[in-house]
Amino acid sequence: MTDADRPRTERGQATAEYALVMLAAAALAGLLLAWAAGTDGIGRLLDAVMESLIGRTT
């Protein structure tokens, strides 16, 4: 179905849904970053990754 075949009320619906999904993803990423920064989660995650990499190389 092309855009011209859709009823006028449905045009732009996919764009609006895409925008809402992107907004929700950005909000979730912001909350995750705020939590990680407040709890030292990023540092612990990077420490765990580095320990895992060092453990595999030795």
Domain boundaries in the chain?
3-57
pLDDT at 57: 75
Q: Which residues of the chain have pLDDT under 70?
A: 1-11, 58
* pLDDT of res. 50: 94
CA-wise closest residue to 45 among 33, 58, 57: 33
CA atoms within 13 A on the CB side of 51: 6
CA 34 to chain centre: 14
> Please, are residues 55 and 47 in contact by the beta-carbon 8 Å criterion?
no
pLDDT value of position 9: 64
Q: pLDDT at position 23, please? A: 96
CA angle (38 as vertex; 45, 32 as ends), nearest 5 = 65
- The whole model's pTM is what? 0.53
Predicted confidence at residue 34, as pLDDT, reads 85
